[in-house]
Amino acid sequence: MNTIVLASRNKHKIEELRQTLAPLNIDLKSTYDFPQLEEVIEDKTTLEGNALKKARYVFEETSLPSLSDDTGLEVEALDGRPGVYSARYAGEAATYQENVDKLLDELAGVEPEHRKAQFRTVVAFVAEGGVHTFEGVCRGQILDEERGDKGFGYDPVFLPEGFEKTFAELSAEIKNDISHRGKAIEKFYDWLKEQQ
């Protein structure tokens, strides 16, 4: 298992994973390396479903071990919404700002202690040997106003547990250490190391 294809065209994600897997001598490819690959529609009702759909498609098309992920913000007071619809919460072509605005509107008047939330990432790996999923969670709460200009998406309103700064105020190093995605990738890395 020397080559893995990441089902993504997100350059930041590709570079981050390439660095993570470097100690294992993995040659990380991405969908950029396979121009014939089509964009996969994320139409499943769970994060697991979307991650598996993307990884399975890439594996079937390339015959190489494939990796994909999907992330959602789950807010307790909204019964777990926006969840799997986080990227398109305010509509199919919604901007990050429109999604944040909708979230804050829906939470208007909700007391701080009832604004608990978590970011959850599911990483799916599909190879000859079968299918594996790895989950990472970062708990926190939703603030009633935006703070910080780093990061993207819901980062300016998400305050991680045990921190005074939002995801949009924290350095990339600290955010990666505590992030849902970082935790899921770490579990995948540990599993991969065992396989080797």
The dihedral formed by the CA atoms of 137, 139, 141 and 146, expressed in degrees to the nearest 10: -60
Tell me whether the omega of the peptide bond preceding residue 82 falls within 30 degrees of 0, making it cis: yes
**CATH of residue 11:** 3.90.950.10
Decide if pLDDT at 1 tops 70.
no
pLDDT of residue 151: 80
Predicted confidence (pLDDT) per residue in 152-195, tens digit:
899 999 999 999 999 999 998 898 889 999 999 999 999 999 99
Of 98, 86, 49, nearest to 69 (Cα)? 49
Residue 4, pLDDT > 80, answer yes
**CB-side neighbour CA atoms (13 Å) of 162:** 6
Active-site pick, 70, 79, 101, 144? 70
Tell me the residue type at 96. Y
pLDDT band at 196 (very low <50, low <70, confident <90, very high): confident
Asked whether the bond before 35 is cis by omega within 30 degrees of 0, the reply is no
Q: Is 101 a catalytic residue?
A: no
Q: How many domains does the chain have?
A: 1
Supply the range of the domain harboring residue 53.
Answer: 3-195
Work out the pLDDT band at 150, boundaries 50, 70, 90: confident
